[in-house]
Structure 1
Amino acid sequence: MLTEVIATRYVTPLREGGSLPGIVEADDLGTYIMKFTGAGQGRKTLVAEVICGLLGRRLGLRVPELVQMQLDPVIGLSEPDQEVQELLKASGGLNLGMDYLPGSLGFDPLAFEVSSREAGRVVWFDALINNVDRSWRNPNALVWHGELWLIDHGATMIWHHNWPTAEKSSAKPYDASDHVLATFAPDVPAAAAEFAPQITEDMLTGIAAEVPDEWLVDEPGFDSPDALRRAYVTTLLARAGMISDHITLGEPSKDKPSQAPGWLAGKPPRRAVK
């Protein structure tokens, strides 16, 4: 299971986007980016962070370590921002932490070179999880110690916002034309050959088991957290078997509206984490 830590000090909010994550210190002496259950996007974004973040790490991609974080809202009493105060009050209990990468910079495709192999691996991974939020508009990637790190997977697996249509939705092709790494000649066939055989039922079942029960309860159409976990496994397994032949890399559409869901549309580019 994911390591569980206790938040000991709320440091500062990160004001990119609408979820208002915060930098938080924990009782293991680590520093994390905390993503809150009380944020407007809801707990499904945390489920997506866990499943897709762990999947990326299992495939050998650089994704910051994830932890469960227990939060006592009292740690934010000195925070002067009323919006932050309300978020902390709404998020008491179990939240998600992502390892903080001090000194990292927001990825800029004009300033940082990525190999065709690595670009292909990231594009194939994003196609599998249907990541509509790693585009030139909002890269959701950092450069740390000269290497590319992938962050923010809350806008993936869009089908889990409407499970009755999940089978149809998850079968859709993936248009990577606006992907932030599309200009690096992604070697998608090589990535498919490397990654597709690794996506097994056992692998996905183990990853889904890492999601806390309390983020999975009361989902319409499912009688238990395990039943919902099974739906994630089944959907991703089916997509892994078909997505390699359904990835499109065309000319980027600079004037095309974002494919991100409404609650992410219009999010400004991520600033460097300092």
Structure 2
Amino acid sequence: MQTLPELRHVNVTRYITPLREGGSLPAVADADDGFKYVVKFRGAGHGPKALIAELLGCELGRYLGFKVPEVVFADLDEAFGRTEGDEEIQDLLKFSQGLNIGLHFLSGAINFDPAVTQVDAQLASEIVWFDAFMTNIDRTFRNTNMLMWHRELWLIDHGATLYFHHSFTNWEQSAATPFAMIKDHVLLPQASQLDEANTKFKALLTDEVLQHMVNLIPDAWLDWEGYEERPDALRQVYFQFLSTRLTHADLFTKTAKDARQTLV
């Protein structure tokens, strides 16, 4: 079993280059620990909710044994970005002052190509199960969100998971969904061991683990416009969502198995 994480804090020291993917504008940046990170900014796209999804997706994935870049809390100083020439990026940095999220930059990594790399049945099944659990709508043939680095498969970009929190209404209903969108998962054709993955991961994801993960969410990411709930109350919604989702694991596992039967 993996140890429960405690994340490091770094200060962003230099903005290097944007990664123009969708509307989120993550960027490669240097930090004061001497490493490069892909920084995702609270001032972009879906704001701090995307950072929460990234945090929980990465750390739960790492706990279950997947290769995931190290996650850090990345602090952006008030003066950072004032010399940036691109007005869009300057605005993004201005609205992202404070706490953001950074993922260790995997230098030299290449995008996963299912036509080139065959993933074994166990790993494919475990990734499909995990994405169904996290309601990840974004690991498809069009956008695999996986990298090959040192001949190993790495999972990236979990900002589209936990999409229930963008409306934050009827989360109980969202937690019990069979997640029909798993039919588009890039690894579903290889996922012939979904029952085994279901048994394995249900045993690993205890309430203690889930509570620890949601407790990692910083208060600064839980101050949402239009919501009066305190951070602890919002964290408990995330915990209840994940716990309820786990109790319905047999349902979304069956949905994935049924979807796979139409492909093979």
Q: How does 1:240-255 map to 2 (within 5 A)?
A: 240-246=246-252, 247-248=255-256, 249-250=259-260, 251=262
The Cα shift of 1:8 comes to 0.6
Q: State the 1:174 CA deviation.
A: 2.2
Q: Residues 220, 201 of structure 1: CA spacing in aligned structure 2 closer, same or farther, 3 A cutoff?
A: farther
Q: 1:185 to 1:207 in 2, by over 3 A?
A: closer
Q: Higher RCO, 1 or 2 (CA under 8 Å, sep at least 6)?
A: 1
Select which of 17, 30, 33 maps to 2:22. 17
Preserved contact between residue 115 and residue 184 of structure 1 (Cα < 8 Å): yes
Q: Does 1:190 align with 2:196?
A: yes
CA distance in 2, matches of 1:245, 1:208: 24
Paired residue for 1:267? none
Shift of 1:218: 4.1
Superposed CA deviations along residues 19-51 of structure 1, whole A, max 9, x for unmatched, are 000001000001100000110221100011111
Is residue 128–residue 191 contact of structure 2 (8 Å, CA) maintained in 1?
A: no
Query: Kindly, what percent of the aligned residue pairs are identical?
Result: 44
TM-score normalised to structure 2 length? 0.91
Q: Quote the residue 2:35 is aligned against.
A: 30
Deviation at 1:81, TM superposition (A): 1.8
Is 2:139 aligned against 1:141?
Answer: no
Question: How far 1:144 sits from its partner (Å)?
Answer: 0.6
Task: Give the superposition deviation at 1:217.
Answer: 2.5
Q: 1:64, CA displacement in angstroms?
A: 0.9
**1:225 and 2:242 correspond:** no
Q: Which shifted more, 158-167 or 120-129?
A: 158-167
Between 1-10 and 184-193, report the one with greater CA deviation: 184-193
- 2:117 aligned residue: 112
Residue 216 of structure 1: aligned partner: 222
Is residue 119–residue 190 contact of structure 2 (8 Å, CA) maintained in 1? yes
Give the match's secondary structure for 1:18.
Answer: coil
Higher helix share: 2
**Which amino acid in the other structure matches residue 236 of structure 1?**
L
- RMSD (CA atoms): 1.6
SS of the counterpart of 1:172? coil
Residue among 125, 129, 135 paired with 1:124: 129
Residue aligning to 1:57 = 62
| 1:220 CA drift (Å) | 5.3
- Verify the 8 A CA contact 2:53 2:159 in the aligned structure 1: yes
The partner residue of 1:44 within 22, 44, 49 is 49
Distance change in 2, residues 1:113/1:193 (3 Å): same
Greater displacement, 163-172 / 17-26? 163-172
SS for the counterpart of 2:93 is helix
- Contact in 1 for aligned 2:141/2:186 (Cα 8 Å): yes
Q: Is the 8 A contact 2:41 2:100 kept in 1?
A: yes
Question: How far does residue 73 in structure 1 lie from its aligned partner after superposition?
Answer: 5.1
Q: CA deviation at 1:56?
A: 0.6
CA distance in 2, matches of 1:12, 1:245: 43
Task: Map 1:73-88 onto structure 2 (within 5 A).
Answer: 74-88=79-93
For 2:149, the aligned partner's letter is W
In structure 1, the gaps of 5 or more residues are: 253-274
